[in-house]
Amino acid sequence: MRPLERIKVIELAGLAPTPYCGMILADFGADVVIVDRLIKDATKTSSVMSKNPFDRGKRSMRTDLKTEQGIGIIRRMISISDVLLDPYRPGVMENLGLGPEDVMKVNPKLIYARLTGWGQSGPWAQMAGHDINYIALSGALSLFRRKGEKPLPPCNLLGDFAGGGMLCTIGILLALLERATSGEGQVVDAAMLDGAASLSTLFYGLLANRLMTLDIGTNRLDGGAPFYQTYETLDGKYMAVGAIEGRFYVQLLEGLEIDPASLPSQDDVKKWPEIKLRFSHVFKTRRRDEWTAIFEGKDACVTPVLELDEVGKHPHNRQRKLLVSVDGVPQPAPAPRLSRTPGRVAKGGGSRGSNTRDILVELGYTTEEIGYLFNGEIVE
């Protein structure tokens, strides 16, 4: 039995962070139902990806939330659910009569998880934004740049997924844990801004202790140090070097066949550009796979930079079954790994909306009522 086997989750269809949160919950056993909008034009779909990894292990239905009957369906779902995932801007659910104060009267044990960029309060709460905007305001984006260059967003990993979806998942699990004692639900205000700031905690500590400066691109962990860096190889690929500690740095030099006496001290910050240039020349003398073989089994903290289509082929990743295939789509397996009750990847319930009828039956709607809802285009 998986940890969340008896937990029922309503996932109101939204962009990447919310589906990611729902995917994690589904991987560990939650019954996640996506509530998507109706598609009036059959030539259009609500999802860019026809085979969406985030939909794994979930069921889905389509409901018109602009109708009283559609709202009634959601209220009935809420009455028997544990978690509601709200991906909308603050106030949208309240305008539908589905805000926390409204629905927690129906189900006081409900965990009402609200996942937004700016959070539920503050002068920017209603403003549009994306990952890049949230991590910019958090300070995190300022850390992703080389000296003298503009900040480079790390795709949308930091705000949407780590700071958003993952933080929201943690909030839900904390609220479920607390509910086991109190018997009461609560609202989870998960903001990508908050999450990205939390992920940056280390750097506030480094700055306060004068172990880094705001001259980004010159510090140990932001590309300034030659021993925490990526280097291009002979075949145009890259190796990642993370030899921070002295004992690892020694093995790095051994692998590169560099005499330590020919280099300045590892901690001579002013000489870092010189050391970095030397390392760059050496790494370009061999192909990436040659360097991988040289550093295999060594504590030099040197690894190949793999492309997405190479990840599943690496022997370590293969042995750990890092990736799984669902509907022919390679994707990361559930994480973290639990010894007794591990997560499990299950196929989704089909295309969006394909479970609508079954879900209505589970909610107690009669055959006549279901026919009315379909015929009236309240559900699809």
| Residue 48 binned pLDDT confidence (cut-offs 50, 70, 90) | low
Same-domain check for residues 190 and 76 = yes
Judge if 37 and 177 occupy the same domain.
yes
Question: Are residues 122 and 264 part of one domain?
Answer: no
Q: Give the catalytic positions in this structure.
A: 130, 160
Compute the Cα dihedral for 116, 121, 127, 132 and give only its sign: negative
- Is 221 inside a domain boundary? no
Q: DSSP 3-state assignment of 253?
A: helix
295 and 156 fall within a common domain: no
Q: What is the pLDDT of residue 33?
A: 98
CATH code of the domain in which 188 resides: 3.40.50.10540
- pLDDT tens string 114-159: 999 999 999 999 999 999 999 999 999 999 999 999 999 999 999 9
| Class of residue 217 by CB neighbours under 10 A (exposed 0-12, middle 13-18, buried 19+) | middle
The predicted model scores a pTM of 0.94
Predicted confidence at residue 1, as pLDDT, reads: 86
Query: DSSP code of 238?
Result: E
Do 265 and 340 share a domain, yes or no?
no
Model confidence pLDDT, tens digit, residues 184-203: 999 999 999 999 999 999 99
State residue 327's pLDDT score. 87
Q: What percent of the chain has pLDDT over 90?
A: 93
Q: Are 215 and 147 in contact (CB under 8 A)?
A: yes
| pLDDT value for 348 | 82
Same domain? 130 vs 277: no
205 located within any domain: no
- Tell me if 185 sits within 8 A of 111, measured CB to CB: yes
Same domain for 111 and 49, yes or no, is yes
The band of 40, judged by pLDDT with boundaries at 50, 70 and 90, is: low
- pLDDT tens digits along 61-120: 999 999 999 999 999 999 999 999 999 999 999 999 999 999 999 999 999 999 999 999
Q: Is residue 207 part of a domain?
A: no
Whole-number Cα distances in Å, 366 to 226, 241, 358, 361: 68, 63, 11, 7
Domain count, the chain: 2
Does residue 267 register a pLDDT over 70?
yes
The mean pLDDT of 196-214, rounded to a whole number, is: 97
Averaged pLDDT for residues 257-282: 97
**Tens of pLDDT along 310-343?**
999 999 999 999 999 998 999 999 999 999 999 9
Contact 140, 200 (CB under 8 A): yes
- The answer to the question of residue 316 being in a domain is no
Mean pLDDT across the stretch 271-279? 98
Whether the per-residue pLDDT at 245 is higher than 70: the answer is yes
How high is the mean pLDDT of the chain? 95
Domain that holds residue 76: 8-199+324-375
Do 251 and 165 have their domain in common?
no
Same domain, 136 and 32: yes
Is residue 14 a part of any domain in this protein? yes
Helices (H) and strands (E) in the chain, counts: 14, 11
* pLDDT at residue 363 in the model: 95
Mean pLDDT of the 7-13 span = 97
Q: What is the pLDDT of residue 78?
A: 97
Going by pLDDT thresholds of 50, 70 and 90, the confidence category of residue 228 is very high
Mean pLDDT, residues 239-247: 98
